[in-house]
């Protein structure tokens, strides 16, 4: 490495070369804020993005442990616990002790949980389409591949 700062501030230079508006985190945060805004504007069930992710993944995996659901939705243990607690309060998820390990909870969707997922699948697809809307099909595919590589 030459020791010279790079234009985007990723080189070995000091803070004087760091420009927030050229950093990946800045763009990822802006893109996420845009997506969350689109999601909130379309999702009729007053669900957050994390609640939706938990419901959809649980529908696919059930029954499963809270820990497994957290891993599969990329949520840490504290986050998935809060999400599950709120969904239980809304009667969208059932919890029961795991018969083989009383320390674990087994999660399943309630009938209302299943119905909410079914009612909102097309809405969720539209949210994804709108989020990616400014990009061409090739750019959408490239973005998804690049994000998979860094996640």
pLDDT tens across 29-56, in order? 999 999 999 999 999 889 999 999 999 9
At 85 the pLDDT is: 97
pLDDT tier at 11, thresholds 50, 70, 90: low
pLDDT tier at 16, thresholds 50, 70, 90: confident
pLDDT tier at 100, thresholds 50, 70, 90: confident
At 5 the pLDDT is: 47
Rounded distance between C-alpha atoms, residue 37 and residue 14, angstroms: 35
Sheet containing strand 93-98, edge to edge, reads 64-65, 101-109, 93-98
CB-based contacts of 135, cutoff 8 Å, min separation 6: 143
Beta strand extents in the chain (DSSP E only): 64-65, 93-98, 101-109
Nearest to 80 by CA among 90, 100, 66: 66
């Amino acid at each position: 490495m030459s020791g010279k700062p790079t234009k985007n501030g990723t080189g070995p230079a000091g803070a004087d070369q760091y420009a927030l508006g050229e950093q990946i985190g800045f763009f990822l945060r802006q893109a996420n804020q845009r997506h969350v805004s689109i999601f909130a504007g379309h999702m009729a069930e007053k669900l957050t993005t994390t609640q939706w992710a938990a419901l959809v993944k649980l529908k696919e995996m059930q029954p499963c442990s809270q820990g497994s659901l957290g891993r599969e939705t990329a949520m840490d243990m504290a986050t998935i616990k809060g999400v599950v607690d709120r969904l239980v309060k809304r009667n969208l998820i059932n919890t029961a002790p795991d018969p083989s390990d009383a320390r674990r909870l087994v999660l399943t969707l309630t009938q209302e949980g299943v119905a909410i997922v079914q009612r909102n699948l097309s809405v969720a697809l539209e949210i994804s389409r709108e989020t990616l809307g400014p990009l061409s099909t090739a750019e959408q595919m490239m973005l998804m591949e690049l994000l998979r590589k860094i996640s």
